[in-house]
Amino acid sequence: MLLFVDNLTNVDFSFLDPERGLLGETWLANIRLHGELDDQGMVCDFGLVKKRVRQWLDTELDHRLAIPVHAPNLHIREDGDLLDITWTFGRDEQQLHTRSPRSAIALVDADVLTPESVARWAVSNLKALFPDSVARLELDFVSEVIDGASYHYSHGLKKHAGNCQRIAHGHRSRLHIWADGERSQMLEQLWAERWRDIYIGSLDDLVEQTQVAGVDVCRFAYQASQGDFELTLPARCCYLIETDSTVELLAWHIAQRSRAEHPEHSVRVQAFEGVNKGAVAEA
């Protein structure tokens, strides 16, 4: 017998891609449980499935930076409750360094992170949470279907009381922009390209702009309620703003800059943060 739950939840996180670098992502989770019927006539209670899977994904993957622990170009050093991580990526061998509390990092048992490898890691941990009547558990991660512009971005919100304060978590988001009341594909694609695979950093968190081995880099650091956070990555991967990077302020930033670049138009921006949530701003 098969029990399934589609679109059970979604996870917003960042991960290390060997070619593209630090990549913000949003995945929808689908789960299937195979097994015999229990004395209630169920493979497993839907309420139990949804609660336990959501709780595990929320705790272990959502709003974390996912690290493939078997990647050959990765160095991890433990320093008490902190993880010091250095990672080399891309054909030009760029380098990323982060120092974060252990709770901000997902150490995935894989050499490359894909929806399939992350799902295998999740299943290996989730199986123990279900009764013996569940013989096999399967998990799929899929991306939201977006017809039009989208971008992957990572960020951190040091003032946030929850997990958004983690310095490298992210989202894959759609974007709608109107110029004088008409959807503007040109503006949407411009911002999708401008923020492709980007880290959006606040100038208030930027502690240094320097060169390492001839490469321009940005170093961000701050202290939040969960601990001390640091992130250094190539400047070409960064987009600096004067405010925090909440979705409200990102929508405002896009609207204001679009209006400044195209003063002949009024602009309305609907910026998403992951799936089915976001903010609207006008200029």
Domain assignment present for 258: no
Residues 6+ apart with CB under 8 A from 48: 130
| Per-residue pLDDT tens over the stretch 130-144 | 877 777 889 999 999
The pLDDT score that the predictor gives to residue 111 is 95
Instruction: Say if 282 falls within a structural domain.
Output: no
* Tens digits of residue pLDDT in 233-244: 999 999 999 999
Q: Is the pLDDT of residue 282 over 90?
A: yes
Task: Tell me phi and psi for residue 123, to 5 degrees.
Answer: -60, -40
Tell me, yes or no, whether 198 lies in a domain.
Answer: no
pLDDT at residue 45 in the model: 65
pLDDT of residue 93: 85
Does 90 fall in a domain? yes
User: Would residue 119 count as lying in a domain?
Assistant: yes
- Tell me how far apart the alpha carbons of residues 79 and 101 are, in angstroms, rounded to a whole number: 9
Range of the domain at 22: 2-172+205-234
What is the structure's pLDDT at 39? 63
Average per-residue pLDDT for the chain = 93
What 8-state DSSP symbol labels residue 161? S
Give the pLDDT score at 40: 67
Beta-carbon contacts of 136 under 8 Å, excluding residues fewer than 6 positions away, are 33, 34, 35
Q: Give residue-wise pLDDT tens across range 13-42.
A: 999 999 999 999 999 999 887 877 766 666
pLDDT of 214 over the 90 cut:
no
> Looking at the 3D structure of the chain, how many domains does it have?
1
**Kind and range of the H or E element at 145?**
none
Look up the CATH number of the domain holding residue 58: 3.30.479.10
Q: Is residue 148 part of a domain?
A: yes
pLDDT in tens, 183-211: 999 999 999 999 999 999 999 999 999 99
Q: How far apart (Å, rounded) are the C-alpha atoms in residues 148 and 177?
A: 11
- The answer to whether position 270 is within a domain reads no
Q: What is the pLDDT of residues 45-61, one digit of tens each?
A: 667 778 889 999 999 99
Q: Is residue 190 part of a domain?
A: no
What sign has the CA pseudo-torsion 262, 239, 92, 102?
negative
